Amino acid sequence: MQDRQLIRADLVTGLILVAFGLAVLMEAVGMPRFETRRINPWTVPGLVPGFLAIIIAVLGAALALRSTFSAALRAPAPALDPQEAADVRAARRRLLACLGICLAYAAGLVGRVPFWLATGFFVFAFVAAFEWQRDDPPPARARKLAIAAVLAAAAAILVPLLFERLFLVRLP
């Protein structure tokens, strides 16, 4: 992340932390005091969360103030050269693809379809997506897809075998 971007992100994070701290503080104040149970007032459940919430809000405020007074925030952003801009876009594309495939697997497929099937699908999709090149000739593309399929099949067979038989671990 570039300096200027980072300082801007710090400002936003600082404000989020202040809001978060205040929200938790309100929640902590609202936690029961168990007066009817006659407990020692210094043991109320909200004490430590409230204490931490205040510290987090203060640290967040410090972060926000620091970035507000930082000179870099006012300076104009240096323009990226076309190569750099393309790299940033490519990195973002890879990140989103990775996040999307992983989430579809872990939050979507796992627990809903048999684990070996979900894993096979996931490995195939991951390998195929990241080895895909737009200008690949058809034979190279077919080879890559074949490799992805072989890896997916190996993962689908070996993972359950290894973990359930050898490590005696139950799979989702």
Partner 1 sequence: MLDGLVQLGNAFTVFANFTTLFNVLWATLAGILIGSLPGLTATMGVALLTTLTYQLPPAQAILILISVYVGAIYGGSRSAILLNIPGTPANAATTLDGFPLARSGRGGEAMGIATTASMMGTFIGVLFLAAIAPLLAEFALRFGSYEYFWLAIFGIVIAGQMTSFDDALKGWISGFLGLMVAMVGQESIHAYDRLTFGIPDLAGGLALIPALVGAFGFAEVLTVMKNRAPELAARSVGRVLPKLSELWRYKRTIGRSGVIGTVVGIIPGVGEDIGAWISYAAARRGSKEKEQFGKGSIEGLIAAETGNNTAIPGALIPALTLAVPGSAPAAVLLAAMLIHGIRPGPLIMIEAPDFVFQVVWMVMLATVAIGVIGLLLTRPLLQVLRVPRERLMPVIFVLCVIGPYAITQRLFDVYVMIGFGILGFVLREMKYPMAPLVLGIILGEILDKNLRRALVLADGDLTPFFTRPISMVLWIATLLVILLALPPVRRGVSRLLRWETAA
Contacts with partner 1 by CB under 8 A lie at 1, 6, 9-10, 13, 17, 24, 27, 31-32, 34, 37, 39-40, 42-43, 45-49, 51-53, 55-56, 59-60, 62-63, 66, 87, 91-92, 94-95, 97-99, 102-103, 105-107, 110-111, 119, 122-123, 126-127, 130-131, 147, 151, 155, 159, 163, 167-172
CB of 131 to partner 1, least distance (A): 5
Q: Is 170 helix (H, G, I), strand (E, B) or coil?
A: coil
Q: Per this entry, what is the length of the chain?
A: 172
Please say which residue, 31 or 77, places its beta carbon nearer to partner 1. 31
Residues 23, 148: Cα–Cα separation, whole Å = 47
8 Å CB contact between 172 and 147? no
Minimum CB distance to partner 1, residue 78 (Å): 19
Beta bridge partners of 113: 110
Measured from the CB atom, the residue of 9 and 75 that comes closer to partner 1 is: 9
3-state secondary structure of 113: strand
Encoding tokens for residue 87?
A: 């790299």
